[in-house]
Amino acid sequence: MISVQDLVKKYGSFVAVDHLSFEVERGELFGLLGPNGAGKTTTISVLSTLLPADGGTVVVAGCDVGRDPGGVRRRIGMVPQEIALYEDLSARDNLRFWGQLYGLSGSSLHTRVDELLEAVELTEHGRQRVSRFSGGMKRRLNLAAGLMHGPEVLFLDEPTVGIDAQARSKILDLIRRLNDDGLTVLYTTHYLEEAEQLCDRIGVIDQGRLAALGDKDELIRQIGDEDTIRFVLPPEAFDDLVAAAAAWGAIGDPEIRRGRVVLRVVDGGRALPQLQAWLEARDLPLAHLEIERPNLENLYLNLTGRALRETT
């Protein structure tokens, strides 16, 4: 459904997207995961014909983005990161406006507006001005506007930015239902939990390049099965810990990040009692303990040398 081959996009001398390649199958919910500034929005803007490419080829729903942008636009829905609504119009009038742009009219337009207001749980607010809506309500209506013409492919660029957890949950549930009904979705986010919970496959993007690609389990297997233990330790005991950790199955030397010791081990369940015994023998407390199984945060850290949350 989507084929991206060696995509390049530059802003002057700055390369925002650097020979990016990936494919999205029909009916798939594909995620592009990366920090702000990684190239996600630029990529989705090229795919949706909002920006021209500087190199490579992109085909969406059978249409070449460079040669047939009109064909692409007829087949896609685009939900941008910025709210694309008219604040002084009602929710219903906003949807009518977008539907008319796509050639809908009469009873078919009226029916489609009703369907989408119900789908995004805004039927009771259809005649209210958008200026009175909460951030979550605006995000849901923004999504409805991108669906007015029944697209084959839906592009979603950070659709949950700036809203609370309850509103985010409603949007994610709606996206799942749309995908379950067969809609192909390309979803960009810098939220790890969204990518893990929502997407069939994930492309990890950093500095305009694809750093990794696969489903959640495939990506995590790239960093092995080791666990991460984090805890607070008095600084004077750190050197002794380094000497002892190898016997507990530690992978590499312990590190200190943000005031905590970070210890990577083959088996956290086996290493933890040994760590506790080592601390008790020195009359040291085990404070602020965390044990973490391999996840996408670990993968991103391994690929880029920094945590995803530290780059946003």
- At 202-242, the pLDDT tens digits run 999 989 999 889 988 788 777 666 788 899 998 889 988 98
Whether the Cβ atoms of residue 147 and residue 141 lie closer than 8 Å to each other:
no
Mean pLDDT of 46-67: 97
The yes-or-no verdict on residue 87 having pLDDT over 90 is yes
**C-alpha to C-alpha distance for 202 and 59, rounded to whole angstroms:** 19
The yes-or-no verdict on residue 296 having pLDDT over 80 is no
Whether the Cβ atoms of residue 230 and residue 296 lie closer than 8 Å to each other:
no
The yes-or-no verdict on residue 16 having pLDDT over 60 is yes
Distances from the Cα of 167 to the Cα of 97, 120, 145, 180, 191, angstroms = 25, 11, 17, 20, 15
Residues 33, 35, 38, 40, Cα dihedral to 10°: 50
- Supply the pTM of this predicted model: 0.78
Compute the mean pLDDT over every residue in the chain, rounded to the nearest whole number.
Answer: 90
Burial of 279 (C-beta count, 10 Å sphere; 0-12/13-18/19+): middle
Residues of the chain with CATH 3.30.70.2030: 227-293
Mean pLDDT of 190-194: 85
Per-residue model confidence (pLDDT) at position 88: 97
Per-residue model confidence (pLDDT) at position 306: 60
Per-residue model confidence (pLDDT) at position 52: 97
Q: How many CB atoms lie within 10 A of CB 129?
A: 15
Residues of the chain with CATH 3.40.50.300: 2-216
Q: What CATH number does domain 2-216 carry, 3.10.690.10, 3.40.50.300, 3.30.70.260, 3.40.50.1260?
A: 3.40.50.300
Per-residue model confidence (pLDDT) at position 269: 81
Per-residue model confidence (pLDDT) at position 193: 84
* Choice between 290 and 176, residue whose per-residue pLDDT is larger: 176
- Which class is 227-293 in CATH? alpha beta
Residue 248 pLDDT level (bands cut at 50, 70, 90):
confident
